[in-house]
Amino acid sequence: MKKLIVYQVDSFTKERFKGNPAGVVVNADGLSDEQMQLIARELNNSETAFLFSPDDYDCDGVIRYFTHTTEVPTCGHATIAAMYAKAIEENLDSCVLRFKTQIGVLPFEIVKEDGDYPVVMTQGRFELSPTLDDETIGRLTTALGIDNTDLDKRCPIQIASTGHSKVMIGIKSRERLNSLEPNYSALSGLSGQIKSNGYFVFTFDSDDKDILTYGRMFAPAIGINEDPVTGNANGPLGGYLVQNKIIDTSDGHFEFNGGQGEKINRFGVVNVRVKIDNGKPALIQIKGDAAVVFRAEIVT
């Protein structure tokens, strides 16, 4: 019999039961795809991360991510959770670990600081689509329950990705953001057409000088009606803001904090860092805190 070590970790927060919860299996060697899917379904988080030993000399390990219904190529909050759980389980010092994901080998930095472990995730290559066509935008805004007067005209509606794409939708009002009640069935159907599973609605309407944007992320096509705090939405948002010249980036570096989860009482903050080369995003990283909710064992 093997004992699987399982953590439940809240990411992008230091307060338990806030931020975004993720499951982590820190010793997943030998698990089949079916077993991982069943464990993810049982834990019932938006994502569960599974850590494996390295499969070649090019990495320090392999990481895979499952929602409760399907495998996904990468996940920000589950990466933060996984590296945090690994650091605690192995009592690590500050280090950079290179983990193989479905979008390539990525460096994850564990920072030992005052007995705790903030984690920095380098995301995949940034990509930005052309602005969506008017018919698609019309279907999207109808599904979200917003109209043209709600939209921030500085912000084109585009698909942005650092490995797991999201549609970026800028609106004017945080009050309007928190009042959204999307048609999840319509959003799910649209995902099949535009080949993007997530919709990130954000606003610059902030009353906190340390938080630039507030957002909400909907991904019903992969079984996540609303994700509390999304690294793979806030990270691409940074690249989107830079490439569209919506913010000033005169010094070759852009850093901001994105708040998310306010509406559903799971508030958390993602620190986003964008390195800029020739006016375009060259490297995107996210940084987040985490808090362990529990550690348990599954006997297989």
Active site residues per annotation = 47
Cα distance between residue 266 and residue 244, in whole Å? 30
- Give the amino acid at 99: F
Cα distance between residue 220 and residue 133, in whole Å? 22
SS3 217: strand
CA dihedral in degrees (116, 228, 162, 57; nearest 10)?
Answer: 40
The two three-digit tokens of residue 107, written as one number: 């460096």
C-alpha distances out from residue 239 to 78, 292, 297, Å: 21, 30, 39
| Beta carbons within 8 Å of 30's beta carbon, 6+ residues apart | 2
SS3 151: strand
The two three-digit tokens of residue 157, written as one number: 């509606």
Find how far residue 237's CA is from the centre of its chain: 11
